[in-house]
Copies of this chain bind each other. A is one copy, B any other.
């Protein structure tokens, strides 16, 4: 039998978006050498637990949330000292959630759970800043070729919400007219008949929804989502 003494963990980089700011979820460690340090939600997997289940479990336990979108990001196992106690290889997952849908609730290993502005992150434990950096890149590039932005928004949203999400995450200006034209041309965003005025002044706008069924359908017909702007 192989003499291997390595532990396996999962970690999740969960992004949330609200009013022009991109957040990432972190939890405050309750136990161990890094007690009180902020780290990504995650932990060791159980012997008979699929990786993906482990991530979902940790997110439920440590922060009380269920994400909208979840995919494997990368496995961190080149730095054999990334955990100073013993060797741990971590499979990092990338997730999206609408923060409004949950009240964070820390439990088990986590003393607290909090949203951090991605632009003003503290130093987290382990190599978790590195993980977030990679996830952030993934988010930016994926936003342009897969309609995952909707997983960060309310089910019904104003066109300006979508627009602002793209602007702030991609960190560039987008022409409102061209953006709207492009998105609508895909036929995966439908206009509801609801009209709302958000907070302050200005003309009320119509609410829109993302038609996921339609998206899945046209995917089969070789549709390619693609938002790229100068």
Interface residues of A (CB under 8 A from B): 2-8, 44-53, 72, 74-75, 77-80, 87, 89, 91
Contact A45 B4 (CB under 8 A): yes
Per DSSP, chain A at the interface is loop
- Contact among B2, B44, B51, B72 for A7, CB-based, below 8 A: B2
Contact B78 A91 (CB under 8 A): no
Residue of A4, A44, A52, A78 with most partner-chain B CB within 10 A: A4
Copies in the complex: 2
Contact B72 A50 (CB under 8 A): no
Contact B78 A6 (CB under 8 A): no
Contact A89 B8 (CB under 8 A): yes
With A72-B75, A74-B72, A75-B75: A51-B89 Cβ-Cβ less than 8 Å: yes
- Contact among B6, B51, B53, B91 for A45, CB-based, below 8 A: B6
Contact B78 A48 (CB under 8 A): no
Can you give 21 A-B contacts (C-beta < 8 A)?
A2-B7, A2-B44, A4-B7, A4-B44, A4-B46, A6-B45, A8-B8, A8-B77, A47-B87, A48-B80, A48-B87, A49-B80, A50-B77, A50-B79, A50-B80, A51-B75, A51-B89, A53-B78, A75-B91, A77-B91, A89-B91
